[in-house]
Structure 1
């Protein structure tokens, strides 16, 4: 560790000692915001069949809900990163909750495909502001040695929102219906805005928040350009592109229809299988955080191993002879997919480690684009393949799903190639 890094670590430890309560309160409120964001993000995963009936749409249109949400998420990552660096996490987290509440209200109230699509776009916009804001908050309040673990713990805490968006949300939708459930979600999201504004602080007392500096538009462009020139930013982007999208595709949209329509699994069992990757994230997230902080050289080999395991497991499930794969194999698939969530945070750790403090938001935003762009492409490919193979049938069959889900392997091959290329440039 260099002298400046040692000085920075000592300063972080002193901050943690002098203001431990404020640091943890600010992080706790930010992490709770992430819980709500993950719940809103995954709220369509088990509601897909109900959305099809309510709006009268097919597989491609259904995939467009998640695709538009992820497209907006990916497109706003860089602007959000720059705005977080400029205005601070407190303002951005509060704004994110207000935007998500508005989007969920549109989803709850509308029978129109266009309005529900707009609502999902707003959800993607609000969701985009959260994780980068939390990472910036952690970097401001805690020593550098703790940031990888706290980033993973944030993901673990946020996973509770994903779990709530699986079996509990599925049961609530069956019991109460579309409008009561989604209006309730919108109300809870809106009520959180006041709590975040009152409890979150951008930096420890005595340190001017970055909002005070108020950089000009030119300096924002410079920050973006300089963040992209850092080789670690490209490595983080392609790492997330490669390892993060399979679990998102499974949890957010196509896992539930694949299990119920393609594998003949009951709705209740399917909702529990969708929750398995989230449990894996909660269990292994802190472990991956320790690895990232103490053994950074393990990150890339671990990501490549997880990518290979994902490809092999999907291949076994899709090529299983007969009609349906065994439930144990589907469970194994869900477990392997779950490894992609904590592994993806390696990309944010790498991007953040190579950037100065005033560009952490920009670098994190660029890296975060990777996973969500790949998820967007995968969801659209699967939806188009299902509609093409389905023909006149009302629902896709097992063979349709086999062909459609296999399209993910192409994206993984592309991701590994680009990740290896960016890693080679970093070494040079």
Structure 2
């Protein structure tokens, strides 16, 4: 019998071996090492003001209310700078944008050691927030660039664990530096370390455009054939991401996740001292325990995502379902922490909540590369993080006000549990199909008609017509 030519799609991929080559493996491992180191440095640097709080208030004459404004300045700058940061990462690449971000936030740290008044310190905190804003969107994009879909959850869990690792080591490390050299030198030393690391990241990390990848390597990493040949995300496409229910679901859900996380980040030592009557010395050690559980939660969340994908769960579903379960579990653990009489049980409940919260953050960041076209990964991740850190900015203030009004943290913890439940509902009701290239390019929303001719919105397409 005469041999027939292979079909067109087979000829297109003939002789292309889509496997993870040693070069891809080395590049991915190095990228993760750099992301973990940069992420830990990110969280250590943002803790400098909190650690030096009493000394700075004394030396600069800042009131308690003024210190609250300084602490919140970082969070608001960080949240709002997410939007341009994500767009820049997708257009210019993680190597350029994250290197620049590292340099900017490290310069802010150096300047923080030189300030002589409230206004100057406020400005350095704004600069610190803006400089740190590319870290997470760039990390999500790096994972999208160098890892195939079945491995992205684990890779995301690894880089996401840097946040709780940095939080766990920040207090002892910064306290040693402050007591040894003073708070001004503490700022300066951390700033110099950051500037050195910015140079190392620029020298060692590479974006896919910097390397002549083979067709097999590109095919292995590619998960969206519709995006082949398209350029970086445009400003119009970036704006259009806001027209999708999935985007708003990611933002609303992450708002709740980071809100509860920042209740514990900002007030855990105070809660243990004031409500649980622990000594300051004991609190310093006890408060570190939940953060260790957070590291485990991040790693487990990433592995869970990949396991679900391997068992046939859709990429979006493998992220969405763990986030919902983790937030509901967080709500239950937080309520128990508020109600139990035993200090040991309360700390255990908070540790469970922290574990689940970091399961949620890892799976939420693993959502960014699969919720939208790959060239929009940093953009939609940054939108998610913007929503999250608006919640983070509110959490310390609301918690403090409720604590002051009621004389305990019980009401604040119940409020946090309620926010977690609402966030789980947002994930469940708003996130649907991933946003594809066709929907992103469409000028008007697609509607499905039922028997009575009423429009039913597809969660994966815009919820309203873009302007």
Scaled by the length of structure 2, what TM-score is found?
A: 0.76
1:238 aligns with 2:252: yes
2:77 corresponds in structure 1 to 72
The structure with more helix, counted as a fraction of residues: 1
For the structure 1 residues 12 and 284, does the alpha-carbon distance in structure 2 shift closer, same or farther, using more than 3 Å as the test? farther
Instruction: Give 1:319 shift.
Output: 4.3
1:422 corresponds in structure 2 to 430
Is the Cα–Cα contact under 8 Å of residues 170 and 271 in structure 1 kept in the other structure?
A: no
1:98 aligns with 2:103: yes
1:411 corresponds in structure 2 to 419
For the structure 1 residues 41 and 71, does the alpha-carbon distance in structure 2 shift closer, same or farther, using more than 3 Å as the test? same
Q: Distance in 1 between matches of 2:99 and 2:17?
A: 26
SS in 2 for 1:237: helix
* Count of residues in correspondence between the two structures: 405
SS in 2 for 1:263: coil
Q: Distance in 1 between matches of 2:367 and 2:230?
A: 26
What per-residue deviation string (whole Å, max 9, x for no partner) do you get for residues 5-30 of structure 1? Answer: xx99x989545434433343344223
1:314 aligns with 2:320: no
Give the unaligned 5+ runs of structure 2: 1-8, 219-226, 433-457, 462-467
1:222 corresponds in structure 2 to 236
Instruction: Give 1:214 shift.
Output: 7.8
For the structure 1 residues 248 and 12, does the alpha-carbon distance in structure 2 shift closer, same or farther, using more than 3 Å as the test? farther
2:223 corresponds in structure 1 to none
1:201 aligns with 2:206: yes
More deviation in 354-363 or 288-297? Answer: 288-297
Is the Cα–Cα contact under 8 Å of residues 369 and 377 in structure 2 kept in the other structure?
A: yes
2:362 corresponds in structure 1 to 345
1:393 corresponds in structure 2 to none
2:6 corresponds in structure 1 to none
Q: Distance in 1 between matches of 2:203 and 2:16?
A: 26
Q: Distance in 2 between matches of 1:156 and 1:347?
A: 13
Instruction: Give 1:188 shift.
Output: 0.7
Instruction: Give 1:353 shift.
Output: 0.7
Instruction: Give 1:83 shift.
Output: 0.4
More deviation in 267-276 or 298-307? Answer: 298-307
Instruction: Give 1:416 shift.
Output: 3.8
For the structure 1 residues 421 and 214, does the alpha-carbon distance in structure 2 shift closer, same or farther, using more than 3 Å as the test? closer
For the structure 1 residues 358 and 94, does the alpha-carbon distance in structure 2 shift closer, same or farther, using more than 3 Å as the test? same
Q: Distance in 2 between matches of 1:309 and 1:19?
A: 37
Instruction: Give 1:301 shift.
Output: 4.5
Is the Cα–Cα contact under 8 Å of residues 149 and 286 in structure 1 kept in the other structure?
A: yes
1:376 corresponds in structure 2 to 393
For the structure 1 residues 301 and 108, does the alpha-carbon distance in structure 2 shift closer, same or farther, using more than 3 Å as the test? same
For the structure 1 residues 313 and 111, does the alpha-carbon distance in structure 2 shift closer, same or farther, using more than 3 Å as the test? farther
2:113 corresponds in structure 1 to 108
Is the Cα–Cα contact under 8 Å of residues 94 and 197 in structure 1 kept in the other structure?
A: yes
2:439 corresponds in structure 1 to none
What per-residue deviation string (whole Å, max 9, x for no partner) do you get for residues 351-380 of structure 1? Answer: 321211211111111112222111111122
1:275 corresponds in structure 2 to 288
Is the Cα–Cα contact under 8 Å of residues 318 and 402 in structure 1 kept in the other structure?
A: yes
For the structure 1 residues 120 and 12, does the alpha-carbon distance in structure 2 shift closer, same or farther, using more than 3 Å as the test? farther
Structure with more relative contact order (C-alpha pairs < 8 Å, separation 6 or more): 1
Scaled by the length of structure 1, what TM-score is found?
A: 0.82
1:359 corresponds in structure 2 to 376
Is the Cα–Cα contact under 8 Å of residues 44 and 170 in structure 2 kept in the other structure?
A: yes
Of 146, 152, 160, the residue aligned with 1:155 is 160
Q: Distance in 1 between matches of 2:96 and 2:417?
A: 39
More deviation in 196-205 or 60-69? Answer: 60-69
Give the unaligned 5+ runs of structure 1: 390-397
Larger Rg: 2
